[in-house]
Amino acid sequence: MSQRWSEAKTGRSLSFEELLARAAAAGRSMVAAGARPGSNVVMTGSLDLDFVVACFGAFTEDITPALLDPNSSEATLRQCINELEATVWATTSKLDDTLGLTHFDPTGIAVSTTADEAEPQWSPTCDVLDPILMLYTSGTTGIPKGVPWASRELSSQIRYYSAATEIQTEFCLFPHLALVAIAIGRTAVLPDVTTLQPLRIPIESVHRQMMKHGCDYVFASPLVWDRLVRFLKESGEEAPPIKIAATAGSALSGRLIERISATLPQTTVRIPFASTEAVMPITVIDAPEFVYLSKTRTYAGAGVPLGAVADEMSVGVVPIESDESDFSIGRSSLPSMEVGEIVVTGSRVTRTYFRRPDVECHAKLRDVVTERVWHRTADLGYIDDKGRLWFVCRKKDVIRRAGGGDLYPDALEQMWNMATGASISAVVYSEPSDELFYVLPGDSVAEIDEFVLNLQADRADVPRPTVVTLSGSLPADVRHNSKVDRPSVLRIVESQHEANEGARG
């Protein structure tokens, strides 16, 4: 292999051959520290050369890197660590002695060995379903769940993205995507930043590094793209030479995609749909179709278009409470345009959770006719009359009104965002007052026309909204610092509402 990967912080770069040699030594050091072949090792830290060498070092010794988010609460981290039964934690940070793990500090391992080290001994007994990498879900519905990624899923992802032969460099903002980029054969550029959180990542620095080190392909959250577009507009700086700009998430709006496309006119803007349990992509849609459907259907409350099904994948929509004991996609599939839970199957869908048989029993549906395993995404949506998949909201976020008629907040947010131009908003419902609120942050550039918002609501057959603008930003979840925390938004809105009522009284 001839690909290289580079670190923006130091300017260092390694070829794949050099990476393997250093990884072999790192793997041996990990075993010497107490990690056992066939076990898990906890991995946290900066996305740099040492982190990647440590991950590949674990691979060489048949050790599974479990990528935990250090922004999780201490209680959550402890529960995940206990579940993993790991003995070693690879991190550059100081460890809490009460955790009982051996500290493996990867600092410097990317330069501490030479290319003439012994070649790594890859496990000859590795099965296609053996775990290679462990990722954890965000935990928005409870304790994060460990999701083992096997060579089956990762090989499928590599096959899919290897088709884009025009991509030579990938600017990496997610640790696991950096590992995949290297496996594809791309030059993975690792940015010099102190945080990868979308709201806090230094956009000016990211832009400078993109221009210097290359950025043919970039996958980033909608918030990062929004901040980059704003920076380019305000600074007048040259747009980075991105060939494919990819993004995803429920906060994705047609207006944002339109702005990205206008700011990066030479770039293909692409929206893949995926989850931790179904490796990217499940479906794919490009900017022109996304913007058209957003203007014509999202504007009317139809939800967010996710597009056509990607190669090696299949999707379906089933009743929210499908019976897992006698599941058949043929019998359970809902008609087109009918909202239900999105289920997916294919070679990029993981087949298990780590030591969570209770969750696995509910989330993994084995078709009694075909024996295929379908994954419940916990996303609600529908398939339209042209076979395109649409998203309306997470199952846990459905607003159930006492008088009947479910409301889908993600669909409503994007409906009103299309009219106001807002990049981010929150739709919340107060049960005591039976009132629906459309909430905006204090720095929003939204242009509010209540007549238009009410007209949209009437046509979509939903309650007319009360528009609220907060003094600051919308509360975000602690882990990602980008997903809107709707329960916190509702508490603020109800508190303000009570205060206003009291003042009038």
Whole-angstrom CA distances from 418 to 10, 125, 252, 257, 292 are 42, 53, 11, 11, 12
The single-letter code of the amino acid at 432 is P
- The answer as to whether 365 is a domain residue is no
Instruction: Name the packing angle between helices 450-460 and 409-420 (round to 10°).
Output: 140
What's residue 197's pLDDT?
Answer: 87
Which positions ≥6 away from 493 have C-beta within 8 Å?
Answer: 428, 430, 437, 439, 468
Q: 232 is written with which tokens? A: 């380019």
Is the dihedral angle over the CA atoms 185, 191, 197, 199 positive or is it negative? Answer: negative
- The answer as to whether 490 is a domain residue is yes
Which positions ≥6 away from 84 have C-beta within 8 Å?
Answer: 40, 42, 66, 134, 146, 354
For tokens 């938004």, what's the residue? Answer: 489
Of 319, 366, 311, nearest to 342 by C-alpha is 319
CATH number (domain holding residue 115):
3.40.50.980
What's residue 20's pLDDT?
Answer: 87
The number of domains in the chain is 2
Give 47's DSSP letter: S
Whole-angstrom CA distances from 43 to 50, 73, 79, 140, 248 are 11, 16, 15, 21, 25
Give 171's DSSP letter: E
Last residue of a domain, one of 126, 159, 186: 126
Domain range enclosing 67: 1-126
- The answer as to whether 248 is a domain residue is no
Instruction: Name the packing angle between helices 254-263 and 409-420 (round to 10°).
Output: 50
- The answer as to whether 267 is a domain residue is no
In whole angstroms, give the CA distance from residue 439 to residue 485: 12
What's residue 382's pLDDT?
Answer: 98
- The answer as to whether 28 is a domain residue is yes
What's residue 437's pLDDT?
Answer: 97
What's residue 115's pLDDT?
Answer: 47
Last residue of a domain, one of 126, 157, 174: 126
> Could you read off the pLDDT tens digit of each residue along the chain, which spans 505 residues?
445 566 666 777 888 888 888 999 999 999 999 999 999 999 988 888 999 999 999 999 999 999 988 777 778 888 888 899 999 999 887 777 767 889 999 888 877 655 444 455 555 456 778 899 999 987 666 678 999 999 999 999 999 999 999 999 999 999 999 999 999 999 999 999 988 988 899 999 999 999 999 999 999 999 899 999 999 999 999 999 999 999 998 678 899 999 999 999 999 999 999 999 999 999 999 999 999 999 999 999 999 999 999 999 999 999 998 777 889 999 999 999 999 999 999 999 999 999 999 899 999 999 999 999 999 999 999 999 999 999 999 999 999 987 778 999 999 999 999 999 998 899 999 998 889 999 999 988 899 999 999 999 999 999 999 999 998 889 887 555 557 899 999 999 998 877 776 666 5
CATH number (domain holding residue 495):
3.30.300.30
In the 3-class helix/strand/coil scheme, how is 366-430 assigned residue by residue? Answer: ECCCCCCEEEEEEEEEEECCCCCEEEEEEHHHCEECCCCCEECHHHHHHHHHHHHCCCCCEEEEE
In whole angstroms, give the CA distance from residue 297 to residue 446: 20
pTM of this structure: 0.92
What's residue 1's pLDDT?
Answer: 40
- The answer as to whether 164 is a domain residue is no
What's residue 63's pLDDT?
Answer: 95
- The answer as to whether 304 is a domain residue is no
Q: 45 is written with which tokens? A: 């830290």
Of 341, 398, 325, nearest to 333 by C-alpha is 341
User: Strand 131-136's sheet: what is its strand order?
Assistant: 102-104, 88-90, 40-43, 64-67, 131-136, 146-150
What's residue 399's pLDDT?
Answer: 95
Stretch (H or E) spanning 223: helix 222-235
- The answer as to whether 176 is a domain residue is no
Last residue of a domain, one of 107, 126, 145: 126
For tokens 């050790």, what's the residue? Answer: 63
